[in-house]
Amino acid sequence: MGEHDSAIAEHRVVIALDSTKSTGYVDLGSALESMGRDEDAITQYKRAIELDPRDALAWYNLAVSFCHLKRWSEAYAAAQEAWDWDPFS
């Protein structure tokens, strides 16, 4: 199992232990994004945002994944949300 695969497995365990916090989903999304799996990362960031709509890091990471996929209008909207919740994120 590669380093990224191990990280993904660990984040899934964290989520299984407590699926009510956005942090596990953000971390899983980041691991997926680092592997170029932006669509999967987007799913995780959106789940994090459902749990905590004020999670600026989830919004920021969502914007980055949208940029990787050249989905510019969605990236802009997500970046604006990140800025609204934490102008220094």
Q: What does the pLDDT look like over 7-53, one tens digit per residue?
A: 899 999 999 999 999 999 999 999 999 999 999 999 999 999 999 99
Confidence of residue 88 (pLDDT cuts 50, 70, 90): confident
> What pLDDT, on the 0 to 100 scale, is given for residue 51?
98
> What's the pLDDT at 59?
98
Query: Is pLDDT of 61 > 90?
Result: yes
Query: What are the sequence ranges of the domains in the chain?
Result: 3-85
* pLDDT, position 89: 62
* pLDDT-based confidence at residue 1 (cuts at 50, 70, 90): low
Pick left, alpha or beta for residue 10 (phi over 0 → left; psi -120 to 50 → alpha; otherwise beta): alpha
Q: Of 24, 89, 5, which Cα lies nearest the Cα of 54? A: 89
The pTM of the full predicted model, rounded to 2 decimals, is 0.91
Do the Cβ atoms of 25 and 58 come closer than 8 Å?
Answer: yes
CATH of domain 3-85: 1.25.40.10
